């Protein structure tokens, strides 16, 4: 007759327990950045499945490569439909892991999608507060001063994604007047759906912001750190940025009060390395994939 000890330590039971534990992980949805596609995020996907073998991982296969420069609202609605289908099959909830421009797309999805069940929104090297500079090793800072001529008009706002989050600190009047994406999400440009979008965004359980000072693409690099960006970034004047934190226009202060904002900084990581750096994954991403 088998003893209780032999039953509890039997290989079959151990396997069943392992399966039961690993199958509890939530579905992870990965959204790629600009000028990239699903193939570029296979390493990140592999990191997840190696740590949690039974986790379902979906890398969104939409707006890939050159298609990724299409206007962000178009991408938000397209990606949102795919995410919504996945959520319907994931009653326990999902995690959103969004790289670079993909973080802005996910921000839009989380704002406009009611009754979503996203637990952790993980923004990996994403310019959530906007961009003012690209590839600092190749383009002089003086070249950045003229981008607003290209971006701040109705024609380009409807055609180029970069223009939707280009945030020139010297041209804030034009930014607020012509940019039809980021000021709406951040609540700097009041609109009739602000309360609804805020309510939708606050359904997330955790906001995880990941970045570092050696990123050579996202300028200023602090753009991904919404709260700390207040003091150390020149992307916009402190009064205006503090306004949407103080007035809680999209829920940032509420998340902070809930202790649901996590910031993870890593030095020595270039922009193209965030999605393939195992130390970044283990330190900044893995802890939030329950």
Is there a catalytic annotation at residue 271? yes
Known catalytic residue at 100: yes
CA–CA separation, 19 and 244 (whole Å): 45
Q: Among 281, 282, 134, 284, which Cα is nearest to 208's? A: 284
Q: Residue 72 is encoded by which pair of tokens?
A: 């962000």
Catalytic residue (choose from 36, 68, 100, 111): 100
Given the residues 32, 52, 95, 271, the one annotated as active site: 271
Residue with tokens 């991408």: 75
Q: In what order do the strands lie in the sheet with 261-265?
A: 57-59, 27-31, 94-99, 118-124, 206-211, 261-265
Which is it for the CA torsion 244, 248, 152, 166, positive or negative? positive
From the centroid of its chain, how far is CA 92? 21
Question: Distance between CA 158 and CA 179 in Å, rounded?
Answer: 10
To the nearest 10°, the Cα dihedral for 88, 73, 108, 79? 30
In angstroms, the CA 24 to CA 249 distance is: 34
Secondary structure class of 91 (helix, strand, coil): coil
**Maximum Cα–Cα distance across the chain:** 83
| Cα–Cα distance for residue pair 282/31, rounded to 1 Å | 19
Give the residue from 84, 74, 79, 75 showing the smallest Cα distance to 27: 84
Catalytic residue among 215, 223, 233, 275: 215
Active site residues: 100, 215, 271
């Amino acid at each position: 007759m088998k003893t209780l000890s032999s039953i509890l330590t039997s290989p079959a039971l151990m396997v069943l327990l392992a399966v039961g534990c690993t199958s509890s992980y939530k579905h992870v949805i990965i959204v790629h950045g600009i000028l990239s596609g699903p193939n570029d995020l296979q390493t990140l996907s592999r990191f997840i499945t190696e740590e949690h073998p039974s986790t379902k991982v979906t890398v969104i296969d939409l707006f890939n490569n050159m298609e990724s420069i299409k206007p962000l609202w178009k991408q938000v609605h397209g990606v949102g439909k795919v995410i919504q289908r996945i959520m319907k099959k994931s009653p326990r909830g999902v995690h959103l892991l969004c790289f670079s421009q993909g973080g802005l797309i996910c921000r839009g999805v989380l704002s406009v999608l009611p009754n979503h069940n996203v637990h952790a929104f993980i923004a990996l090297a994403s310019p959530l507060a906007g961009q003012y500079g690209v590839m600092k090793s190749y383009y002089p800072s003086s070249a950045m001063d003229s981008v607003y001529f290209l971006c701040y008009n109705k024609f380009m706002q409807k055609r180029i994604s970069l223009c939707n989050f280009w945030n020139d600190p010297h041209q804030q009047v034009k930014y607020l007047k012509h940019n039809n994406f980021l000021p709406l999400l951040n609540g700097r440009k009041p609109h009739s759906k602000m309360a609804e979008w805020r309510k939708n965004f606050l359904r997330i359980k955790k906001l995880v912001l990941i970045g570092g000072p050696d990123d050579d693409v996202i300028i200023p690099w602090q753009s991904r750190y919404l709260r700390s960006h207040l003091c150390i970034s020149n992307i916009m004047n402190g009064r205006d940025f503090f306004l949407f934190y103080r007035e809680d226009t999209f829920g940032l202060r509420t998340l902070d009060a809930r202790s649901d904002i996590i910031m993870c900084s890593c030095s020595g990581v270039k922009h193209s390395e965030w999605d393939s750096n195992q130390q970044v994954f283990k330190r900044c991403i893995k802890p939030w994939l329950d």
